[in-house]
Amino acid sequence: GAGVSQSPSNKVTEKGKDVELRCDPISGHTALYWYRQRLGQGLEFLIYFQGNSAPDKSGLPSDRFSAERTGESVSTLTIQRTQQEDSAVYLCASSFLQGATGELFFGEGSRLTVL
Amino acid sequence: QQQVKQSPQSLIVQKGGIPIINCAYENTAFDYFPWYQQFPGKGPALLIAIRPDVSEKKEGRFTISFNKSAKQFSLHIMDSQPGDSATYFCAASMGTSGSRLTFGEGTQLTVNP
């Protein structure tokens, strides 16, 4: 498919375990975002990768959260020692950045449930 | 300064009504204002966007009104339909520098038949 792909679509884990969420952006998109959406709530910014620039990590809620991106391709969001309050849908979006903010294309999200 | 405040949190209208969703921002450097639409179980999708050189933009039944002096912008949905029932998010960024989008809290719209 040509859209943003996220995996897993659903993840249930036990408190204290580590989880990895993966995002495959649209090919050629230079910008990639991670957002968190708790049930019935808005989009909470986590991290933003913009081309070769240093990522904007200002939204990461704690040092348990980290993200990496390999070049302009796949990104992985890692949550260590998960807590119940980490339960949410984690949304990834990519954008073709040509000197200006463009349309964000979102994946369908990874729903994380921490028991 | 990065916040975008959105209201109302939820909105119910009858079919054919004109729901209006409002957003306000503080950062005068913002120059790109999109609206996203999200259906349950899906990621948000771009609906319409405006830049501050115009005061209004229409695309089909959707209109953005922009008031630069008041630092406010709003979404109007003409002749609303049950299929418009979704969550709507406004957002803002310093678009010309490629900065990240900051989203509002969202408005859950229900259009009754």
pLDDT, tens digit (0-9, with 9 covering 90-100), for B11-54: 999 999 999 999 999 999 898 899 999 999 899 999 999 988 89
Report which of residues B95 and A110 the model is more confident about: A110
Q: Which of B2, B100, B109 to mutate to test the interface with A (most CBs of A within 10 A)?
A: B100
Contact A42 B102 (CB under 8 A): no
CA distances from B91 to A79, B5, B31, B35, B56 (A): 26, 9, 11, 6, 16
pLDDT, tens digit (0-9, with 9 covering 90-100), for A56-71: 899 999 999 999 998 7
Mean pLDDT of B87-102: 82
pLDDT, tens digit (0-9, with 9 covering 90-100), for A18-60: 999 999 999 988 889 999 999 878 899 999 998 888 898 999 9
* Model pLDDT, residue B1: 58
CA distance B72 to A115: 41
Extended beta strands in chain A, E state? 5-7, 10-13, 19-24, 31-37, 44-50, 65-69, 75-79, 88-95, 105-106, 110-114
* Model pLDDT, residue A96: 83
* Model pLDDT, residue B95: 64
Mean pLDDT of B47-69: 94
Task: Give the other-Cβ count within 10 Å of A32's Cβ.
Answer: 28
Select from B45, B96, B106 the Cβ nearest to the Cβ of A106: B45
Number of residue pairs across A and B with CB atoms under 8 Å? 60
Tell me which chain A residues have a C-beta less than 8 angstroms from the C-beta of B46.
103-104
* Model pLDDT, residue B107: 96
Strands A10-13 and A110-114: parallel
Is the pLDDT at B97 greater than 90, yes or no? no
CA distance B44 to chain A (A): 6
Q: Is A33 on the interface with B (CB under 8 A)?
A: yes
Q: Which helix (H) or strand (E) holds B40?
A: none
Alpha-carbon torsion, ordered A24, A25, A26, A27, to 10 deg: -80
* Model pLDDT, residue B98: 61
Q: List all residues of chain B from 36 to 75 with a beta carbon under 8 Å from chain A.
A: 36, 41-46, 49
CA distance A99 to chain B (A): 6
* B44 to chain A: closest CA residue: A106
* Model pLDDT, residue A85: 95
Instruction: Tell me the backbone φ, ψ of residue B84, rounded to 5 degrees.
Output: -85, -10
